[in-house]
Structure 1
Amino acid sequence: MSFSKHFLNKPESLVIESLQGVAALNPDLGLDVPNKVLYNAAHDRSKVALICGGGSGHEPAHAGFVGDGILSAAAAGAVFASPNPAQVRRAIDLVESDKGTVIIVKNYTGDILNFGLAKEQYAAIHPEKSNRVKFVIVSDDVAVGRTQGKIVGRRGLAGTVLVYKIAGALARQGASLEEVYTTAEYITTRLATIGVGLDHCHVPGTATAENQLGATEIEIGLGIHNEPGARRISPVPPLCELIPMLVTNLISTTDPDRSFVPFKGKGDRVVLLVNNLGGTSELELGAIVREAEKVLVARDITVERIIAGTFMTSLNMPGFSLTLLLLPKTSEASIPSAEKLLALLDEPASTYGWKWTSGKVPVVTPIAPQVRAASSGGGEDAKLKAADEKAFVDAIIRASNALIKEEPEITRMDNIAGDGDCGLTLKGGAEAVLADIQSGKISGQNVVKSVIAISKIAEEQMGGTSGAIYSIFFSALAQALSVSSATTLSPEVWSKALTSALQRLYTYTRARPPSRTLVDPLQAFVETLGSSPNNFAAAVKAAGDAAQKTSELEAKAGRSAYVEGDRLRQEKIPDPGAWGVKAILEGLLANA
């Protein structure tokens, strides 16, 4: 039996310690430790109080939204378990308002029973106040159809946060209990959410689940407590295919079993909430936002606001959810206008869980067209041909394919010795080189132009430290070749140009052999070739030996310098960048 790893003291104290951390972020908050209730000690009791809660593990929901402008108090249960009625009653008592209280819960049986029981017990103890506590249930999941959820109904997901925000802002403005309640109720009827995950989450203190998704699977419609989704898809589709599927699930009205919100499609005005389920990077989240907006705009739906970030998680689940709030039309006069709801969303809130929002209609940023730089003459115009044009191109093809083949091994090395991106960076460069060969940008007819093309690929396609080093080296190599008086490439011309390029590279990096970097095999290759220009095989062997020897060296430069040296030596991990140079040179040599 295996257990997942987490940062904690012990599982049973994690919830209360997390609440204490949230309380430390805002001096206006109080914490009832025995009842695990976080509350706004500065709550204005002349205004409606909002209470929520539920199982922990969905942070920042629910405690992260306690503060001026959203929630008055939140009661926290154990991970994925509802708080008990006594906790909820304590929350009501702590922020009891002269105007009354609205309790907002997600549609899960435990939450409804325990919060509902607390409401009834409060009414029994205070019969004169029984009509001053209202109960709102949020069920926004479109993955659960009417047939499947005919008894329990749809699950409550991230759309709940929009109910918190709108109702909380309205309460702060001094609205009546009835107005806050009816507005919250109305919002629940206009929400549609669907989640998608690459895997399930891990609950602290429990064994790792055995029903994890396969390496190529993605699950659509899963819940926030590891509940199974509506379906699994393999392989994982690109966002341009996945997002349209999800949006269709959200807005489709053709399936009466799953049509819960009165979308019309063209002409609808919506708020888009993109929610991180806990384990999705901000880099990916930005791409999801972009794709979701594109899909909605393409369907003639006006996106009035985009709200994105981590709002309601499933611990560390690698996934996200999309929520649409359908705004009312001008003809719906009996409820708050779209402009009123947007203004309530836009109001700042003093809580750590609510993210920054622009308060403006998003503008699609056009992609600037690429402008081809005019040739400045000189290097690219230098007519230095390969002695055997086909052999020249074939060697570059072999080197590129060798890098692509070695990518998994280089990535494995870099996951230990660096940041894990070296293999993919080199593979991306190699694939771009092959594409330039296909398009004729790289050929044996003009060696200088070909080397400049490779330098540009390193600069534009690879990026990072490796890209910069390769780009500088190949730029310097092109400069050295362009000043040669020769018209046909020879081993002597190669050797002299390579020596010049290495010296130029050394003006930009402090790394010198033995340094456990790519300069170790590069210098071994250049120096050996310099002493014997016609013995290319010996130079390649010297580079290979130097790359292998990096497994015994202490890192002095590069990201490996931050890794414990003994670990690298004990595990005999060569430098991934050096291994990439080895792969390139051995590819050039093959069948030569």
Structure 2
Amino acid sequence: MAIQSKHILGNDPSTLVLDSLKGVCELNHQLALDEANRVVYIASPDPSKVALICGGGSGHEPAHAGFVGDGILTAAVCGNVFASPNPRQVRRAIELVGNGKGTLIIVKNYTGEILNFGLAKEQFAARHPDKADKVKFLVVGDDVAVGRTQGSIVGRRGLVGTVLVYKIAGALARRGASIDEVYDIAETVTENLGTVGVGLEHCHVPGTATSESHLTENEIEIGMGIHNEAGNKRVSPVPPMDQLIDQLITMIISTEDKDRSFVPFRGGNQDQVIVLVNNLGGLSELELGSISGGVSRRLKAKGLSVQRLISGTFMTSLNMPGFSITLLLLPEEQYTRNLILSLLDEPTGTPGWKWSSCVPPARLQSSPKIPITVSATKKSEVPLKAPDPPAFNSAVERACNAIIRAEPEITRMDTIAGDGDCGLTLKGGATAVLQTIEEGKVSGEDIVSSLIVISQAAEEQMGGTIGALFSIFFSALTQGLRSSSTEAIDWSGALDSALDRLYTYTRARRPSRTLVDPLSAFVESIVSGKKLAEAVGAATTAAEQTKDVEAKAGRSAYVEGESLKKEQVTDPGAWGVKLILEALIQQ
């Protein structure tokens, strides 16, 4: 897949970090910015509370500056993208927020950050010997993808689990705890953290040349770092979500893999965990919601007790399309376990921390399904039967299969002319109708009932504008057919009345570059006495002509007209109607 290399920059790449920090300070009135050293800090920190300082390279937003504020961090020191800040910047942060209560510096386990922040701490202690014992230093390494053998010297990389350390230690500091108490709780959390990430592709650094794709279309990388470092392994084809989540969870909780069994999980339904599902920057909220639910379900299936489920964007790798799972194993000792949960649940005054329910995730309760009943016709209880029921069934199946096969092409059309969902929407409806045929709910033995079921499938499985249009048309067609006799079905009158009924809900009229174009051409041809094949031909012509028609309705009406004409793409909904009608008359 292609790497997303386009970025919106305020001025140029060289000022992006500073521009971003200014924006963070505009969002949070508590904050101030030392522009020369790129330190975001609480403007008036409480000297009676331990100060927490963090930092590192930029490109991981909202980490780190997004967590500065009441209840989490006191200051964040920001380097260039993926590059640690220098010791001078860190010393400035200590001078700005350090106090007699104490200062805790928390860094991710990366060599540059340890060296630069550590050097700044030592330099500060040398210059202020009276305050040396009040500045403590904690390194967080939570990545389980790097095993003991591979990381024998450098240890585990620091990932998004670091944010949980910020939150819990920061909440305890706000309560007025001593520097030793804050350090101890931060260390306890660090020792019980495990994180693993997965990426669909690497990210792109603003201002750098566009790079080639690192992964194929059907390949993912497990264990990628947050600076584009290679992962633990590549997997192809991409497994289904639940299988992928199972692999990731196993890497964290397994005690059999001695090379990466870092967290003392006990097993046997004894483990209580806090779960953090993190967007690495390029996933949609739609995907993240699905992943979060999947993680919670799979953990419960494995016997773990999920005490908190937190999901959102906490520590990114710029625009990397991927996610990570972090598990914080709660201590067996009840007081410490309850303390950690209460600290996690405390509200904060920072834009980076996402909402949490502050309770264990509940088991999903589904609403009972309401059965759909189809009443008999008022005129007669005798079903309206097609002249050749098997041929009716075959025609509906052909139409559905034609739509399913054409999904990629319809999607391509709609990507240009609309919002890109038409192909999948039509395919969803067609798939649902095929299932009803297998269940015997759609049959030429009872046309009226079959059309009601098809209308319902369009309504429930397609949704959106196109689903509503199909559902209205088929519902109206059903009403028109109810007046037919069992001997002679009045298709002409039923189609005519269905189109009139549809017109009461849409302003689209031919030519409008919508599905109404071929549908109205077909119906009008039938009403005028044309044969079925001629009517389908008229619909085909109308659909093909939409590529030259100015959009007057539908999503295409919002697309620049000259662009549509240049692309010479037909309306995707109209193309779907064309395919359905052509399939109906095939032998």
Give the TM-score of the pair, scaled to structure 2.
Answer: 0.97
Q: What secondary structure, in the 3-state scheme, does the structure 1 residue paired with 2:485 have? A: coil
* 1:572 maps onto 2:586 in alignment: no
Q: Distance in 2 between matches of 1:10 and 1:163?
A: 34
Once residues 214 and 572 of structure 2 are traced to their aligned partners in structure 1, the CA distance between those partners, rounded to angstroms, is: 31
1:562 aligns with 2:553: no
Q: How does 1:60-459 map to 2 (within 5 A)?
A: 60-265=62-267, 266-330=269-333, 337-378=336-377, 383-459=383-459
The answer to whether the 8 Å contact 1:218/1:233 transfers is yes
Equivalent residue, structure 1, for 2:60: 58
- Taking the aligned partners of 1:42 and 1:2, their CA distance within structure 2 comes to 42
Superposition deviation, residue 590 in structure 1: 1.8
The match for 1:541 among 534, 537, 543 is 537
Give the Cα separation in 2 of the matches to 1:381 and 1:23: 72
Equivalent position to 2:517, from 507, 516, 520: 520
What is the match of residue 495 of structure 2? 498
| Structure 2 CA distance for aligned equivalents of residues 36 and 253 of structure 1 | 42
SS class of match (2:369): coil
Where 1:532 maps in the other structure, the secondary structure is coil
Per-residue deviation, 1:296: 1.4
Letter in 2 for 1:134: K
- Please, which of 28, 31, 49 is the counterpart of residue 30 of structure 2? 28
CA distance in 1, matches of 2:431, 2:468: 17
Corresponding letter in the other structure for 1:217: E
2-structure distance, mates of 1:36, 1:400: 59
Cα distance per residue 1:442-499 (max 9 Å; x no partner)? 111111111111101101111111111111111111111122123454xxx2222111
DSSP-derived class of the 1:498 partner:
helix
The residue type equivalent to 1:250 in the other structure is: I
Report the alpha carbon displacement of residue 368 of structure 1 after superposing the two structures with TM: 3.0
Structure 1 CA distance for aligned equivalents of residues 228 and 382 of structure 2: 63
Answer whether contact 1:382 1:482 (CA < 8 A) is retained.
no
Contact 1:525 1:543 in 2 (8 A): yes
- How far apart are the structure 2 equivalents of 1:53 and 1:140? 16
> What is the total number of aligned residue pairs between the two structures?
583
- Residue type matched to 1:254 in 2? E
Work out the CA distance in 2 between the residues paired with 1:157 and 1:555: 49
* 1:382 and 1:448 in contact (8 A); partners too: no
Structure 1 CA distance for aligned equivalents of residues 88 and 578 of structure 2: 67
Q: Aligned letter for 1:574?
A: T
Distance 1:439 1:89, change over 3 A: same
Tell me, what secondary structure is at the counterpart of 1:77?
strand
Q: Any conservation in 2 of the 1:3–1:205 contact (CA below 8 Å)?
A: no
Say which SS state the counterpart of residue 158 (structure 2) adopts.
coil
| Superposed CA RMSD | 1.6
Contact in 2 for aligned 1:384/1:488 (Cα 8 Å): no
Alignment-mate amino acid for residue 297 of structure 1: K
* Displacement after TM superposition at 1:183 (Å): 1.1
What code does the residue aligned with 1:62 have? H
Matched-pair contact (CA < 8 Å) for 2:33–2:40: yes
Mark the runs of 5 or more structure 1 residues left unpaired by the alignment. Answer: none
Instruction: Judge conservation of contact 2:3–2:212 (CA < 8 Å) in 1.
Output: no
CA deviations 1:85-126 (Å, max 9, x no partner) are: 111111111111221110000001111111111111111111
CA contact (8 A) 1:400 1:584 kept: yes
What is the rounded CA distance, in whole Å, between the counterparts of 1:289 and 1:4 in structure 2? Answer: 27
Q: Is the 8 A contact 2:3 2:201 kept in 1?
A: no
Query: 2:40 and 2:238 mapped to 1: Cα distance?
Result: 40
Q: How much has 1:2 moved relative to structure 2? A: 9.7
Is the 2:374–2:449 contact (alpha carbons within 8 Å) kept by the matching residues of 1? no
Contact kept? 2:384, 2:446, Cα under 8 Å: yes
- Alpha-carbon deviation of 1:439? 1.8
- Secondary structure in structure 2 of the residue aligned to 1:337: helix
Task: Decide which moves more: 387-396 or 48-57.
Answer: 387-396
In structure 2, what residue type is equivalent to 1:428?
Answer: G
User: How far did residue 273 of structure 1 move?
Assistant: 0.6
Give the match's secondary structure for 1:35.
Answer: coil
CA contact (8 A) 1:2 1:207 kept: no
Residues of 2 paired with 1:3 and 1:193: CA distance?
Answer: 25
Cross-structure match for 1:4? 5
In structure 1, distance between residues paired with 2:173 and 2:90:
20
Counterpart AA for 1:145: G
Q: Cα distance, 1:575 vs. partner?
A: 1.0
CA distance in 2 between partners of 1:190 and 1:458 (Å): 50
Percent identity for Structure 1 against Structure 2:
64
The alignment partner of 2:122 has SS state of helix
Query: Is the 1:385–1:488 contact (alpha carbons within 8 Å) kept by the matching residues of 2?
Result: no
Once the two structures are overlaid, the 10-residue window that deviates more, 428-437 or 130-139, is 428-437
TM-score norm. by structure 1 comes to 0.96
Which amino acid in the other structure matches residue 304 of structure 1? Answer: Q
Q: Is the 8 A contact 2:3 2:203 kept in 1?
A: no
Shift of 1:300: 2.0
Q: Is the 8 A contact 2:276 2:309 kept in 1?
A: yes
> Structure 2 vs 1, CA of residues 100 and 367 (structure 1 numbering), >3 Å: closer, same or farther?
same
* Alignment check: 8 A CA contact 1:50 1:72 kept: yes
Q: What CA distance in whole angstroms lies between the structure 1 residues aligned with 2:430 and 2:413? A: 19
**Counterparts of 1:400 and 1:377, CA distance in 2:** 26
Structure 1 distance, partners of 2:4, 2:456, is 47
Deviation of residue 211 (structure 1)?
Answer: 4.6
Q: CA deviation at 1:528?
A: 0.9
The CA deviation string for residues 311-340 of structure 1, in whole angstroms up to 9 with x for no partner, is 001111111111111111127xxxx61111
SS at match of 2:326: strand
Cα deviation, residue 3, structure 1: 8.3
Deviations, residues 169-202 of structure 1 (Å, cap 9, x unaligned): 0111110011111111111000000101111111
Structure 2 match to 1:37: 39
Task: Answer yes or no: is the 8 Å Cα contact 2:385–2:486 preserved in 1.
Answer: no
Q: Secondary structure at the match of 1:378?
A: coil
